[in-house]
Chains A and B, each alone.
Chain A
């Protein structure tokens, strides 16, 4: 007898939850892997705040009390990006060590196989996001948009992890190799530096400025920064959440399609 759709959904939800919990426990057991993603962005923020104080006086630089306010979105995005490919890496590890095949032979649905891993990455990203924002606030940063803007900022970071994680899963399914997924890290790292993360694009010049302006990371960073520096704006909220949401929809769909093709071919 086929289960009705409500039962099927409940089952898929329970499976996703179970795999998410497994993924979070895996991260918890390897806290050493999470720490560089927190320590390094905070160190960079601390250094930049103390070395770029003269820079905020440059004509064209946004009006800020301190470089700390300006660099908050960069640190947040950098921090969550450090572990963003983890959903892909963990999936590749499951493929490498055969756990994925065991899951496939169980009555577990295909979608929970992917969503479980992504769920774990999202929980870790949310925890990192809250921690980073709290540290910045403790050191004197101010979010002009208030607590609601802080929630939007963390949610944006979580959605960004979903977008990158989906891409990591596509690579994991295609290659089945952790090394191949990890090789995307320099790409993520570079895309943050070649954006408005650490400096406003209007103070850049030449091809670098054009690339930075066309970089989706800039489209995500800029509205977050306006929420921090200027205050609440629905259009900024829409852009901050919308851009990573659209990219996530594309990458997660790609992951599902790739998995279906792979399993269909095998």
Chain B
């Protein structure tokens, strides 16, 4: 093996090692302070219980797409939980920036990107907690897996992807403003983006500006991808637009986050 190839392999190993360490630190933080996970778990559970309870009769409206409201709302609540998980990952970085730990990270040799990748991985991993909670409560409520066990896989892929995206958006803002207070911007953004999609009703139920916004909102495609297994069989036609939407959002938010990180580290 040539010297450059060895250096490249070692470089990749370094990136992976740092990213894993950052991700592991985040998970240990949850173990040390379990209260950190409560809002991330509690809010999606409140959502799934409230939305299915309050809006249960939506299934009586013609064209809703399912006669079981859990099949529609569970994915929405799980994705909301993923957004909170992503924002929470960025919040941990905000805390590190405020208490000076992040400056110490920046003093370490090597690329800064693994710091970002590790935080993103931590957020994606963290999202499995609310997703599992929401699915558990929904199964108790009568959630059915029309598309088989693969339906669960699509939900976990979608929620991990959404957590990563919103973590990257949060990191871009945190690297720019360097305060915990700036997280409120991302919370409002995340919450609003979810509401401006097909979270609670199908797109043909909407009218006016909301219909136009939900149609172009990439989260609508992610919801279709994640929800398909609860409404029927999984199809490639429903799958690829969701994956493209997740990939596109990751690319844009990742570019923004890397740009802001480089500015911060300069």
Q: Which residues of chain A have a CB within 8 Å of any CB of chain B? A: 32, 36, 39-40, 43-44, 46-47, 50-55, 57-58, 186, 189-190, 193-194, 198-199, 203-206, 208-209, 212
Contacts and interface: CB of A to CB of B under 8 A. Distances in A.
B36 to A, nearest CB: 13
Nearest to B198: A51
A50 B210 contact: yes
B148 interface: no
Interface of B: 39, 42-43, 46, 49-58, 60-61, 181, 184, 188, 191-192, 195-196, 200-201, 205-211
A40 B191 contact: yes
Contacts of B53: 194, 204, 206, 208-209, 212
A72 B54 CA distance: 17
A50 B56 contact: no
- Chain A binding surface SS class: helix
B46 A193 contact: yes
A199 B55 CA distance: 7
Contact of A47 (B49, B54, B60, B196): B196
B250 to A, nearest CB: 25
26 contacts: A39-B188, A43-B195, A44-B195, A47-B195, A47-B196, A50-B206, A50-B211, A52-B205, A54-B205, A55-B61, A57-B61, A58-B60, A58-B61, A186-B39, A189-B46, A190-B50, A193-B46, A193-B54, A194-B49, A194-B53, A198-B55, A203-B56, A206-B53, A208-B52, A208-B53, A208-B54
Contacts of B54: 193-194, 198-199, 204, 208, 212
Contacts of A190: 46, 50
- Chain B binding surface SS class: helix
A152 to B, nearest CB: 25
Given A32-B184, A203-B57, A51 B50 contact: no
Given A186-B39, A199-B57, A51 B206 contact: yes
Nearest to B61: A54
B133 to A, nearest CB: 15
A43 B196 CA distance: 9
B192 A43 contact: yes
A53 B191 CA distance: 22
Contact of A40 (B60, B188, B207): B188
B191 A186 contact: no
B41 to A, nearest CB: 11
A219 B95 CA distance: 42
